């Protein structure tokens, strides 16, 4: 099952979390998706910028692990879903948005259980190609105009250079007496008309050519601005569509978060129920052991203890399964090494200590008066229970005041 399609279904997420703590990499193509994300970042020249959780998951999979914890996968979902919008080559990773057009609609860009951005990417590539072609055409036109102006300048400069050369080479030398001529000339009235219409015609043609060139350039630039406006509008429409797509994605993610919160609430309730059940059962079993002990004691007569049982200042209880009952106050240390032993002090006082090193022992209903301490640090315990003793209970036993 594709990873994106699985996580678009909140019911399946609930089943996954309730039934397992880890997700199979091979089943949901996680390593493929994460490889593509890292690869695309390197392809665009941008260093990979991912969260520490994503890096930890990626390293775990690269080391040969085949599963990831569910909690870790949920944590890196926003990064995976964000990158999926740019992977046009992956056509089976994302389920359709609830508000997407139907597959049969004329404006549909989705297929069965997929979200295909091929048309959007194709449109963007066509716009990029048109901009590139327009730029090339404009550059060629401007180059042609620049060349024509340069050629015109070269021709004009050449013509003026020839004129200056001719004028510079003119030389007049006169040795005759022209005074008479000048006298005559003084009396002459000369009227001359120079026809410059041809010069003005040429200048008018040049002016018209320059004006036409300006008009063509302005027209080309107007068309350029029009095309750029259309491109800007197309890009705005594309941005609007993509924003709508992402809004739908975030809506799905919000739904997933809500479902997870409800799951955790249910799990908390289940945990509390289990804890309450455990508490009730433990209480019931404690009562059961108490009843069984009382039944056992009622069925077994107690063995009396008194001063005659003291040997060397010690009363030793080393026989298994015996109930003892103290008949008088005694001054001695009581050492219990037999298991399943019950010692009932019958509200008597034991001046000394009680040491227990066996299991399933009960000492109850009496007072203990250990030796007075010589200092606070050297205080003697009234009852000592060793690590070897298990299921030992001390009931209604009080320390006697000195």
- Torsions phi, psi of 191, nearest 5? -120, 120
**Rounded alpha-carbon distances, angstroms, from residue 255 to 14, 114, 154, 248, 366:** 12, 19, 74, 11, 65
- From CA 137, how far away is CA 227, in angstroms rounded? 13
E strand or H helix at 335? strand 333-336
Query: Is the pLDDT score of 54 beyond 90?
Result: no
Average pLDDT over residues 8-22: 51
Torsion sign, CA atoms 311, 316, 317, 319? negative
Q: Which residue has the higher pLDDT, 179 or 263?
A: 263
- From CA 29, how far away is CA 84, in angstroms rounded? 13
**Among 367, 291, 295, CA closest to 326:** 367
Query: Is the pLDDT score of 95 beyond 50?
Result: no
> What pLDDT, on a 0 to 100 scale, did the predictor assign at position 402?
60
Q: Are the CB atoms for 274 and 102 separated by under 8 Å?
A: no
Model confidence band, residue 200 (pLDDT cutoffs 50, 70, 90): confident
| Averaged pLDDT score across all residues of the chain | 77
**Residues with Cβ < 8 Å from 106, sequence gap 6 or more?**
none
The distance of Cα 208 from the centroid of its chain, to the nearest Å, equals 67
Average pLDDT over residues 14-24: 59
**Residues with Cβ < 8 Å from 384, sequence gap 6 or more?**
353, 354, 355, 356
> What pLDDT, on a 0 to 100 scale, did the predictor assign at position 45?
58
How does pLDDT run across 235-268, given as a tens digit for each residue?
A: 888 888 888 877 877 788 887 888 888 888 999 9
Lowest mean pLDDT among 36-40, 199-203, 392-396: 36-40
Query: Is the pLDDT score of 286 beyond 70?
Result: yes
> What pLDDT, on a 0 to 100 scale, did the predictor assign at position 393?
93
Burial (CB < 10 A; 0-12, 13-18, 19+), residue 38, is middle
**Residues with Cβ < 8 Å from 334, sequence gap 6 or more?**
314, 315, 317, 343, 350, 352, 353, 354, 355
Percent of the chain with pLDDT over 90: 21
> What pLDDT, on a 0 to 100 scale, did the predictor assign at position 339?
94
Average pLDDT over residues 121-133: 59
How does pLDDT run across 327-380, given as a tens digit for each residue?
A: 999 999 999 999 999 999 999 999 999 999 999 999 999 999 998 877 766 677
Lowest mean pLDDT among 42-56, 139-153, 287-301, 384-398: 287-301
> How many beta carbons lie within 10 A of that of residue 248, not counting itself?
16
How does pLDDT run across 201-247, given as a tens digit for each residue?
A: 888 889 898 998 888 888 888 888 888 888 888 888 888 888 887 78
Percent of the chain with pLDDT over 70: 72
> What pLDDT, on a 0 to 100 scale, did the predictor assign at position 87?
56
Mind giving me the DSSP string for 255-280? HHHHHHHHHHHHHHHHHHHHHHHHHH
Helix 52-62 and helix 30-43: axis angle, to 10°?
A: 120
> What pLDDT, on a 0 to 100 scale, did the predictor assign at position 292?
65
């Amino acid at each position: 099952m594709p990873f994106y399609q699985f996580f678009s279904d909140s019911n399946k997420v609930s089943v996954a979390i309730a039934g397992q703590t880890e997700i199979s990499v091979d089943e949901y193509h996680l390593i493929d998706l994460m490889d593509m994300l890292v690869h695309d970042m390197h392809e665009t020249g941008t260093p990979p910028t991912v969260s520490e959780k994503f890096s930890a998951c990626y390293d775990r999979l690269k080391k040969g692990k085949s599963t990831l914890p569910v909690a870790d996968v949920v944590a890196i979902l926003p990064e995976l879903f964000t990158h999926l919008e740019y992977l046009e080559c992956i056509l089976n990773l994302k389920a359709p948005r609830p508000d997407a057009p139907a597959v049969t609609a004329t404006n549909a860009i989705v297929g069965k259980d997929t979200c295909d951005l091929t048309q959007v990417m194709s449109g963007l590539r066509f716009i990029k190609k048109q901009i590139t072609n327009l730029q090339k055409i404009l550059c060629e036109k401007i180059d042609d105009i620049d060349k024509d102006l340069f050629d015109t300048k070269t021709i004009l400069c050449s013509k003026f250079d020839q004129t200056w050369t001719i004028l510079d080479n003119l030389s007049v030398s006169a040795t005759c007496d022209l005074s008479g001529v000048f006298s005559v000339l003084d009396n002459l009235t000369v009227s001359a008309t120079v026809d410059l219409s041809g010069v003005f015609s040429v200048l008018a043609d040049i002016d018209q050519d320059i004006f036409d060139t300006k008009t063509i350039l302005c027209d080309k630039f107007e068309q350029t601005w029009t095309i750029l406006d259309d491109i800007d509008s197309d890009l705005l429409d594309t941005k609007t569509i993509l924003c709508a797509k992402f809004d739908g994605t975030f809506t799905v993610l919000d739904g997933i978060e809500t479902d997870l919160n409800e799951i955790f609430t249910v799990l908390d309730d289940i945990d509390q129920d289990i804890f309450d059940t455990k508490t009730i059962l433990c209480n019931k079993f404690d009562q059961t052991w108490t009843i069984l002990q009382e039944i056992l004691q009622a069925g077994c007569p107690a063995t009396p203890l008194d001063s005659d049982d003291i040997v060397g200042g010690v009363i030793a209880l080393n026989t298994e399964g015996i109930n003892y009952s103290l008949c008088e106050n005694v001054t001695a240390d009581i050492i219990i090494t037999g298991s399943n032993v019950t010692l009932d002090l019958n509200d008597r006082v034991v001046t000394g200590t009680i040491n227990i090193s066996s299991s399933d022992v009960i000492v109850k209903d009496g007072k203990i008066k250990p030796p007075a301490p010589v200092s606070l640090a050297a205080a003697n315990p009234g009852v000592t229970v060793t690590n070897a003793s298990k299921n030992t209970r001390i009931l209604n036993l009080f320390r006697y005041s000195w």
